[in-house]
């Protein structure tokens, strides 16, 4: 083959290729082969753009039993870290008081501490950390001293579990949904400091993030903290009925995890509506898992080189259904609150924790753990 034919062949191959041109096209979850245009995904990810979690099949009994399923009480998502003190896995999770469900999460959500000898559970209740109302726990560490930070929303508010889980006046509930707080401990066994906040100011009544909630921080080595949050317009109607309004993700930054926080942008960072963000950083860049709000069923993945400019948020990382070891599909109505436990040795995503609804939406939920491929 002469040089002209070779060049023509290469040009034709390039023109026919519609694959990746850089690692960004692989969702920062793989390496781009620029000649073939194919992404070589990290073990934890799959798909042509490495945007889908490579979740492993589960035994049906583990799906039904869940990672944390406290009887008839609802639990909702979880954060887990392993303790070097006792070797146990420590879970921090929202649990509804009594037999209340997510239909009355304000004012009945509380944050509890559970432990297990195995990462995927089952977890057993150990103690109540923060009584009603506290919700959306997000556990991370301060890289400067290794202490533990538990971000959440809420404030002191009496439960209505003894009154049949009755609703509270909507204007009262709105005040607690928009209070991002943080607590600190030097051990996963506590004691935990009294939650402080609110950390991020709510928007004006006319702005998209009048409500600021669902906190997920990334604490950088120099102390700078990027706080991603879910924003929602004012969503209580004059008749006290919540409205189904747009939800998306915003960003506030502080020189230290304790604040003060300043909002970076006037608009959401994602083009597609998403909520329940879970943020992390690896050697390639920044990542978000979110619960999709355009489709309500799926978990979405977004990525960014600098933590500021993001992909659209449209890529689906997981759906609400579980592939069983038998090959069958186990279906859930909802799968939300995505949280990842990372492999202690490699830093790769190892287990996905979610809140799942097996029946009618939000009438009952429990916490599920599903392993992510590591090989």
pLDDT in tens, the chain (375 residues): 555 454 444 444 443 446 999 999 999 999 999 999 999 999 999 999 999 999 999 999 999 999 999 999 999 989 999 999 999 999 999 999 999 999 999 999 999 999 999 999 999 999 999 999 999 999 999 999 999 999 999 999 999 999 999 988 877 888 899 999 999 999 999 999 999 999 999 999 889 999 999 999 999 999 999 999 999 887 655 455 445 568 899 999 999 999 999 999 999 999 999 999 999 999 999 999 999 987 878 999 999 999 999 999 999 999 999 999 999 999 999 999 999 999 989 999 999 999 999 998 888 999 999 999 998
Q: Which residue has the tokens 């669902």?
A: 214
pLDDT score, position 297: 82
pTM of the model: 0.93
pLDDT score, position 174: 80
- Give the number of other CB atoms < 10 A from CB of residue 255: 13
Sign for the CA dihedral angle at 188, 137, 159, 175 comes to: positive
Sign for the CA dihedral angle at 159, 164, 167, 168 comes to: negative
CATH superfamily of 54-371: Glycosyl hydrolase domain; family 43 (2.115.10.20)
- Give the number of other CB atoms < 10 A from CB of residue 233: 16
pLDDT score, position 226: 98
pLDDT score, position 51: 98
CB 86 within 8 A of CB 113: no
pLDDT score, position 245: 64
Rounded CA-CA distance 160/298 in Å is: 31
In which residue ranges of the chain is CATH 2.115.10.20 found?
A: 54-371
Q: What are phi and psi of 19, to 5 degrees?
A: -105, -150
Rounded CA-CA distance 81/62 in Å is: 20
Q: Show the tokens assigned to 20.
A: 């990746």
Please enumerate in sequence order all residues whose Cβ is within 8 A of that of 254, keeping only pairs 6 or more positions apart, or say none. 199, 224, 225, 227, 260, 261, 262
Q: In what order do the strands lie in the sheet with 349-357?
A: 334-342, 349-357, 366-371
């Amino acid at each position: 083959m002469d040089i002209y034919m070779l060049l023509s062949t290469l040009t034709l191959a390039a023109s026919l290729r519609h694959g990746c041109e850089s690692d960004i096209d692989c969702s920062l979850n793989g390496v781009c082969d620029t000649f073939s245009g194919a992404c070589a995904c990290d073990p934890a990810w799959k798909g042509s753009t490495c945007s889908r979690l490579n979740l492993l099949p589960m035994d049906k009994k583990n799906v039904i039993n869940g990672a944390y399923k406290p009887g008839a009480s609802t639990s909702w998502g979880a954060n887990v870290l392993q303790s070097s003190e006792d070797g146990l896995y420590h879970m921090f999770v929202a649990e509804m008081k009594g037999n209340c469900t997510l239909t009355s999460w304000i004012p009945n959500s509380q944050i509890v501490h559970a432990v297990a000898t195995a990462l995927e559970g089952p977890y057993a209740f150990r103690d109540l950390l923060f009584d009603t109302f506290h919700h959306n726990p997000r556990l991370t560490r301060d890289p400067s001293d290794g202490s533990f930070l538990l971000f959440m929303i809420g404030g002191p508010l009496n439960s209505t579990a003894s009154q049949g889980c009755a609703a509270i006046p909507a204007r009262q509930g709105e005040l607690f949904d928009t209070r991002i707080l943080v607590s600190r401990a030097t051990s996963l066994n506590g004691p935990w400091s009294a939650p402080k906040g609110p950390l991020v100011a709510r928007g004006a009544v006319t702005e998209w993030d009048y409500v600021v909630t669902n906190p997920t921080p990334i604490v950088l080595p120099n102390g700078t903290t990027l706080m991603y949050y879910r924003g929602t317009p004012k969503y209580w109607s004059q008749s006290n009925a919540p409205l189904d309004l747009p939800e998306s993700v915003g960003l506030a930054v502080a020189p230290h995890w304790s604040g003060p926080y300043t909002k970076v942008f006037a608009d959401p960072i994602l083009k597609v509506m998403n909520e329940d963000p879970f943020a992390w950083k690896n050697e390639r860049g920044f990542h978000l898992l979110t619960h999709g709000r355009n489709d309500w069923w799926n978990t979405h993945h977004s990525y960014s080189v600098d933590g500021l400019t993001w992909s659209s948020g449209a890529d689906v990382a997981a759906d609400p259904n579980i592939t069983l070891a038998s090959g069958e599909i186990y279906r859930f109505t909802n799968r939300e609150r995505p949280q990842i436990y990372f492999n202690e040795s490699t830093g790769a995503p190892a287990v996905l924790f979610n809140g799942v609804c097996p029946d009618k939406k939000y009438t009952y939920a429990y916490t599920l753990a599903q392993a992510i491929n590591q090989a």
